[in-house]
Amino acid sequence: MALQLSRFLVKPLMWAGLCLLVLAVPGYGQSEPELNLKGAIDFHVHSSPDSVPRSIDADDLARLAKESGMRGLVLKNHFESTAALAYMVRKEVPGIEAFGGITMDLSNGGINLEAVKRMSMMKGGWGRIVWLPTQDAENDSKRRDPNKPFVPIVKDGKLLPNVIELIDFIAQHDQLVFETGHISAEEVLLVVHEAHERKVKHIVVTHAMYYVENMSIPQMQQAARDGAYIEFDADGPFVGPPPAEDDGRLCGSDSPDRPGVLHSCHEFRHDPQSAFSVASPRPARIHASAA
């Protein structure tokens, strides 16, 4: 329980360095030095069992990660808590640090403090992440279907009281990580600022460059100044659609086919559709790309 998750999070704007890590890996047809994942944590992985199709069960994924020398996984599910699953994965695959969490989507009751409390109390204590609404965020929901119900978090430009209450609870529980889910870029800035003001210890902007949030570089910088870690995953910059401001400096889009990037996704071929964000305390390959 004394584990400090912050050690595993990508430091603000460190994703640029992680890009370099990925770019150091050659593309298809080139010689292929082994991708070094030793000590890495995937902070955002979708696996089975789920109520939508996924390509690999969580325990098998954990075995795969262990074989690769990875340290751990954060198991994400849009529709239910993964705290119990994290406990079972740790039991079945000793040596892998699995963490769970809960989203504030409709199937979990929307913004639901009671569900968060239960998630954090799950046996093992590995339920650590609270995501604001993801697929049921207004920002994502209306994109899918304008008439679909969603979970509001703001009214008249102000955060709703139940969101403030949730933030305050997380601020009182330092083991928890507060993630922004799929809310809009503007909402991200509002929420991150509030969470920072209310002394939340761990704040993560969920896949900031994913096309659903599509945060600009200045927006990400602003969130980082407010103490947030910026999650940087395969969806969006790597497997498309590209983010609005990826001009090649960040993600190598100057390469016609982004070879290193695609190779990296191929390495995780068991679920190329899932976001795969790697936060490594030892990005061993950065030196190669700097050469």
Contacts (CB under 5 A) with Zn ion, residues 31-60: none
Q: How far is the CB of 233 from Zn ion (least distance, A)?
A: 8
For residues 87 and 276, which CB has a smaller minimum distance to Zn ion in the complex? Answer: 276
Q: How far is the CB of 136 from Zn ion (least distance, A)?
A: 13
Contacts (CB under 5 A) with Zn ion, residues 154-193: none
For residues 135 and 280, which CB has a smaller minimum distance to Zn ion in the complex? Answer: 135
Q: How far is the CB of 186 from Zn ion (least distance, A)?
A: 21
Helices (H), the chain: 15-23, 58-67, 83-92, 113-121, 138-144, 161-171, 185-197, 217-225, 259-267, 286-290
Contacts (CB under 5 A) with Zn ion, residues 64-83: 76
Q: How far is the CB of 46 from Zn ion (least distance, A)?
A: 6
Buried b (16+ CB within 10 A) or exposed e, 181-209: bbbbbebbbbbbbbbbeeebbbbbbbbbb
Distances (CA, A) of 283 to 13, 156, 245, 287: 14, 43, 24, 9
For residues 20 and 61, which CB has a smaller minimum distance to Zn ion in the complex? Answer: 61
Distances (CA, A) of 179 to 124, 159, 189: 21, 15, 12
Q: How far is the CB of 66 from Zn ion (least distance, A)?
A: 22
Q: Would the CA dihedral through 227, 231, 237, 241 be positive or negative?
A: negative
For residues 76 and 196, which CB has a smaller minimum distance to Zn ion in the complex? Answer: 76
For residues 193 and 271, which CB has a smaller minimum distance to Zn ion in the complex? Answer: 271
Residues found near Zn ion in the complex (CB under 5 A): 76
